[in-house]
Amino acid sequence: MRICVQRVSRASVTVDGQVVGEIGTGLLVLVGVAPNDSETDVQYLAEKILGLRIFEDQDGKMNRSVQDVDGGILVVSQFTLYGDIRKGRRPSFSASAEPEFAKQQYEKLVQHLRTLGAPNVQTGQFRAHMEVALVNDGPVTLLLDSTKLF
């Protein structure tokens, strides 16, 4: 499982002109699922997301988590995180999971975040054409991979 985490001052997802998920201060989490992702991958990344200390403390140092700042988490599926553009100009998505499996893992990640105590978890709409709007705070953007590739 691959994740792109962005610290945001606000973010939203719109589908067919309707806002389906929206947060203020918090994390925008873009999620890509691989065919061999397991419960262990989901749990690892949920805990990592909640534990990331990327919000500033009173001294201006990145030392607080999304829970510490009572922030929201907007989780959006993004199979293109497994896009491979090493050959040619058109990406290959053969490393992405099939949609049914990817949806299950995506939903498990959302549930784990909620179970672990995330204060406000919002989502996009799986497999929909989404418009994601965000204000990246910092900017702070981190990539996570459950296989610890990076």
Answer yes or no: 78 catalytic. Answer: yes
**CA pair distance 140, 8, nearest whole angstrom:** 8
Residue of 80, 111, 115, 147 marked active site: 80
Residue of 79, 105, 122, 123 marked active site: 79
Look up residue 81 and give its DSSP letter.
G
Residue of 78, 105, 122, 123 marked active site: 78
Helix (H, G, I), strand (E, B) or coil at 106: helix
Answer yes or no: 6 catalytic. Answer: no
Pairing of the two strands 2-15 and 18-23: antiparallel
Taking each helix axis from N to C end, the angle separating 39-51 and 99-115, rounded to the nearest 10 degrees, works out to: 40
Answer yes or no: 80 catalytic. Answer: yes
> What residues are labeled active site?
78-80
